[in-house]
Amino acid sequence: MPTEQALKNRSNNSCEFCTSTNNLAVYPVPPTSDLSAQQSVYLCENCISQLDGKSEVDINHWRCLNDSMWNQEPAVQVMSYRMLHKLSTESWAQDALAMIYMEDDVKTWAEQGIAAAEREGPTRDSNGAELNDGDDVTLIKDLKVKGANFTAKQGTLVRGITLTDNPEHIEGKVNGTRIVLVASYLKKA
């Protein structure tokens, strides 16, 4: 079944946040989504434009999160949590965040998106290519690894990197040791 049809069925053809039935569309959960129904939500144009920053955030509109945060679908919980976090200067949003319950893996998913959104900018390699979680990179010069007593050699492939809060650094495993690497000494493989 195509994603949109699955989401229509799941949401009873209404926005999974505010229950509007006007101008509904599939919204992939950022920063990475496989575009499946499990990693997407079905939202109205108003919710999408505010999420994407194309229109000003209407704080009162988002009071609908008090209901949607209890949805059983992990993707809806994740997006509700992220929006509540964005609105956390409001006392009602703080109260909702204090009450929300999510499984540990769902909360981790929600927090990864918050961390990705809060980064100052994209992490880029020595050639200016944007790096993402899970990418493979190659070292472009020998690097002495402090505290591990080895040198990571030029040409070493680092598989499945993890981005950090600092866009200049990534984490990866070299010689079986998880280390922080400077992105400007890497190139995307």
Q: What is the DSSP string of 7-49?
A: HHHHHTSS-TTT---SSEEEEEPSS---SSGGGEEEEEHHHHH
Burial letters for 91-123: b for 16+ Cβ neighbours within 10 Å, e otherwise?
Answer: eebeebbeebebeeebbebbebbeebeeeeeeb
Residue where a domain terminates, one of 118, 145, 169: 118
Q: Are 133 and 71 in the same domain?
A: no
Q: Are 22 and 99 in the same domain?
A: yes
Q: Are 128 and 112 in the same domain?
A: no
Whole-model pTM: value is 0.62
Residue 188 burial (CB count, 10 A): 18
Q: Are 42 and 102 in the same domain?
A: yes
Q: Are 45 and 133 in the same domain?
A: no
Distance CA 187, CA 129 (A): 8
In tens digits, the chain (189 residues) has pLDDT values of 688 999 999 999 999 999 999 999 999 998 777 889 899 999 999 999 998 888 899 999 999 999 999 999 999 999 999 999 989 889 999 999 999 999 999 999 998 888 766 655 788 898 889 898 899 999 999 888 877 788 889 999 999 998 887 778 899 999 888 888 888 899 998
Q: Are 51 and 113 in the same domain?
A: yes
Residue where a domain terminates, one of 64, 88, 118: 118
| Domain encompassing residue 171 | 123-188
Residue with tokens 């200049």: 168
pLDDT on residue 122: 81
Q: Are 16 and 73 in the same domain?
A: yes
Angle, nearest 10°, between helix axes 104-118 and 74-86?
40
Residue where a domain terminates, one of 76, 99, 118: 118
